[in-house]
Amino acid sequence: MKIMISSQNATLESLVDSRFGRSQWLILVDTQSDEWEAFQNPGASQSGGAGVAAAQFVVDQDARVVISGDFGPNAARAFQSANIEMGLFPKQTLTVKEAVELYKSDSLRKNI
């Protein structure tokens, strides 16, 4: 399963970023092979519509799950329309790798 996680930097050891649309990086992880790739978030530098631009990027990468600390209403609607599950990581600081492990153990809150 491909999952996308908002991140402050471009590695699995990076801290997650609670801002989905404005996070600097989006990290795509394949939970079956543990392969991953970091992408600069195309929404981060937009003056408006950051969440929608980032959401469209996630859709284009064929991710089935996206994990962040918060999703704006427009990004959430885009994910709901595309049938992409949204997971919320807890408030304490996590690395991207820890967020993946929480997802694998079904320990993330779901954003409905």
Mean of all residue pLDDT scores within the chain:
93
Q: How confident is the model at residue 57 (pLDDT cuts 50, 70, 90)?
A: very high
Over 60: is that where the pLDDT of 20 sits? yes
- Exposure of 52 by Cβ count < 10 A (0-12 exposed, 13-18 middle, 19+ buried)? middle
Mean pLDDT on 44-67: 94
Q: How confident is the model at residue 26 (pLDDT cuts 50, 70, 90)?
A: very high
User: Looking up tokens 């600390």, which residue turns up?
Assistant: 69
The amino acid present at 68, given as its one-letter code, is S
At 85 the three-state DSSP class reads: strand
Mean pLDDT on 11-18: 95
| 91-96 long-range contacts, CB within 8 A, separation 24+ | 93/15, 93/16, 94/15, 94/16, 95/12, 95/13, 95/14, 95/15, 95/16, 96/5, 96/7, 96/11, 96/12, 96/13, 96/14, 96/15, 96/16, 96/27, 96/29
pTM (2 decimals)?
0.92
Q: What percent of the chain has pLDDT over 70?
A: 98
pLDDT at 92: 80
Q: What percent of the chain has pLDDT over 90?
A: 83
Q: Which CATH superfamily is domain 2-111 in?
A: Dinitrogenase iron-molybdenum cofactor biosynthesis domain (3.30.420.130)
- Exposure of 45 by Cβ count < 10 A (0-12 exposed, 13-18 middle, 19+ buried)? exposed
pLDDT tens track for 89-98: 887 879 999 9
